[in-house]
Amino acid sequence: MAINNDKEFKGALACMNPSQLRLAAAGFVDSVLPLSTDERIVAAVKVARQEKASETELEMQLRSVKAAALASYTQCGKLCDWNSQAGHFVAKAAVRCVEPLTDGGAQSVWEGAMDARMARTCEVIATGEGTENNEAQVQYRIVESLLNS
Amino acid sequence: MSATMEKGVRVLKEVIDSRIASYFSSCVHCGICADACLFYTETGDPKYTPINKLEPLCRVYEQEYTLLGKLGKLIGWSKAVTDAELAEWQELVYNSCTLCGRCSVVCPVGNDIVYMVRKLREGMSASGNAPDGLKGAVTRTVTIGSPMGIKLPAVKAQIKHVEADYGLKVPLDMEGADYLVMLSSMEIINFPEYLGAIGKIMHSVGKTWTLSSEAFEATNAGMQIGNSDLARVIVSRIVEAAEKLKAKTVISPECGHAYTALRWEGANLIGRPFTFKVQHIIEVLGEFQAQGLLKTEGMETDKLTFHDPCQLARRGGVIKQQRVLMNMVAKNFVEMPDAGFMNWCCGGGGGASAIEEGEELRLKAFAVKIRQFDAVKPDRLVTACANCRIVLEEGLEHYEMKLPVIGLTELVAEHLPEPK
């Protein structure tokens, strides 16, 4: 299966089972992990990748990455550091990989993908060069490989 | 007396107009305003009584404009305001006042205490006694054009992200559009989904809209710190862009003081009427609904409640529209006690959330919000202010209450029928 655009990407997510979705969400975070320095995110991704992770473990990680996302917000009136803000969106994406997958979970994982892309957008803004990034293509390949495995 | 202090006192004398004079002379010292202020109710400390926060301004008023005050000053009964006093008052005038306006609306003699606090802030700011967090925001507004340092390339990158995410075009500098959409720094940085939601809604109702590359954000740091000149510059920038693009309506973002500055004080600040209408996004959505343009499908089934941003509901009088919108998309919408006109502030408005040294007090005052939530036990909390949203999330985290916070504009956009 080849994914070439977001419509196909969304369609592919809708076809995935919950464990594939969680792995996809973890993959999206992994791809932008260098943009964060928060160890809590690494731990959350590790748990999300474990097929036998218990609900309690996931819940603990969820709390932890939610706290990480909250702590990395740029508050109103503060100078925005786009590199730190990239870290914030990585944490937001990490929330998606450990939260309960309700209503099939595809929408939640899609939003995680968007957060990961936002992290990359923040990185681009921080460098001050252009507006392009290829995170979407990276995500297409992650989902393709999960579906083809 | 230092030069900045001298300037501050001079500004305080200048800002005392007929309204301030009548407010001070009619205050009956009843203390009712205390029970309206979350910083007083949650600490029990009388220093947070709103009228007490105005003590330096009151003293200048009495010493300069009343016979007894002048006599008192002459014979040494009444001491002149000092630099040290103003520095001490910073906590009361900035950290513990969100300009939420609850005190103003309970005052039995009709004193607009918020108006007075803002005038006092002018003197505080001129004497160098504003908090560093706000000073930084003001400096960035002057040098970069944005309190949080947002430049056009960042907005363009966000536009690109939103276009890809939502599969829609975000117009920039389009002449003659129905709506010129303003953003707050917070929406650009933290909530790009707000821009996506606007695009979806405008597409759905068939209205044209645009952003401006010359004035994309409306956050008004001048209003927050107490600097009318700066507030005027920020509003003028928006007015120039709106007139250049011949926009019919300018939409204020989900930012309380941006709305107040533009909608209620903008024309007075620039000294002439606007050639366009100004509306908050919630007013615009309410209008689309009333005109039958806004069609939604499906309903949220969990229990939702709404936090009214102070500048929108209490100071701006927009109360009905958000409830109509909530009922369009939520089957189980419940109201908290004191919701609507008398809603309790999140504790971070009026620049308070930018003041680091005020965080502990802010979190203490948040207990009042917890009581509101506890009364109805909602599954999710909806609001219409990017700053409220973050302050609410921080408070909820501090009190370990699991309550997701979402934006109303985004919620409405989620319920639009899929485009054919």
For chain B, which domains are there?
3-130 (1.10.1060), 152-288 (3.40.50), 294-414 (3.40.50)
Q: Is A6 within a domain?
A: no
Average the pLDDT over B380-394 and give the result: 95
Beta-carbon contacts of residue B140 (< 8 Å; ≥ 6 apart): A79, B146, B147, B148, B149, B221
Q: B101 at the A interface (CB within 8 A)?
A: no
- Strand order across the B405-407 sheet: B330-334, B300-307, B380-383, B405-407
Helical (H) or strand (E) element with B36: none
Average the pLDDT over B75-88 and give the result: 88
Task: Please provide residue B209's backbone torsions phi and psi, each rounded to the nearest 5 degrees.
Answer: -150, 165
Average the pLDDT over A61-65 and give the result: 95
What is the domain range of residue A85?
A: 15-148
Cβ contacts of A82 on chain B, cutoff 8 Å: 154
CA–CA gap between residue B40 and residue B357 (Å, rounded): 18
CA–CA gap between residue A100 and residue B58 (Å, rounded): 56
Is the per-residue pLDDT at B370 higher than 70?
yes
Question: Which candidate from B136, B219, B221 shows the least CB-CB separation from A79?
Answer: B136
Burial class for A102, CB neighbours closer than 10 Å (0-12, 13-18, 19+)? exposed
Are B163 and B196 spatial neighbours (Cβ–Cβ below 8 Å)? no
Closest-CA distance, A10 to chain B, in angstroms, reads 11
Give the model's pLDDT for residue B420. 64
Q: Is A8 within a domain?
A: no
Closest-CA distance, B372 to chain A, in angstroms, reads 22
Expressed in angstroms, the distance from the first to the final Cα of chain B is: 70
CA–CA gap between residue A106 and residue A15 (Å, rounded): 8
Which runs of E-coded beta strand occur in B203-294? Answer: 209-210, 249-252, 277-280
For chain A positions 40-99, those within 8 Å of chain B (CB to CB) are 66-67, 70, 73-80, 82, 85, 88
Across the interface, whether the CB atoms of A80 and B161 are under 8 A apart is answered: no
Is the per-residue pLDDT at B419 higher than 90?
no
Q: Is A5 within a domain?
A: no
% chain B with pLDDT above 90: 76
Q: Is A3 within a domain?
A: no
The tokens of B60 are what?
A: 């200048």
Across the interface, whether the CB atoms of A74 and B134 are under 8 A apart is answered: no
Cβ contacts of A10 on chain B, cutoff 8 Å: none
Q: Is the entire prediction scored with pTM above 0.80? A: yes
Most confidently modeled range among A5-9, B71-75, B288-292: B288-292
CA–CA gap between residue A127 and residue B47 (Å, rounded): 47
Closest-CA distance, B83 to chain A, in angstroms, reads 26
Is the per-residue pLDDT at B8 higher than 90?
no
The tokens of A148 are what?
A: 């083809």
Give the model's pLDDT for residue B138. 85
Give the model's pLDDT for residue A133. 76
Using 50, 70 and 90 to split pLDDT, how confident is the model at B185? Answer: confident
Cβ contacts of B353 on chain A, cutoff 8 Å: 75-77
- Strand order across the B249-252 sheet: B209-210, B179-181, B249-252, B277-280
Using 50, 70 and 90 to split pLDDT, how confident is the model at B183? Answer: very high
Q: Is A118 within a domain?
A: yes
**Tally of structural domains, chain A:** 1
Q: B277 at the A interface (CB within 8 A)?
A: no
Give the range among B160-174, B232-246, B325-339 with minimum mean pLDDT. Answer: B160-174
CA–CA gap between residue B191 and residue A103 (Å, rounded): 24
Question: Which candidate from A6, A70, A75 shows the least CB-CB separation from B354?
Answer: A75
Average the pLDDT over B394-413 and give the result: 95
From the candidates A63, A73, A76, which should be mutated to test the interface with B, based on the most B CB atoms within 10 A?
A76
Give the model's pLDDT for residue B109. 97
Give the model's pLDDT for residue A43. 97
Cβ contacts of A74 on chain B, cutoff 8 Å: 148, 186, 189-190
Average the pLDDT over B273-281 and give the result: 96
Question: Which candidate from B165, B186, B192 shows the least CB-CB separation from A76?
Answer: B186
Give the range among A118-132, B15-29, B382-396 with minimum mean pLDDT. Answer: A118-132
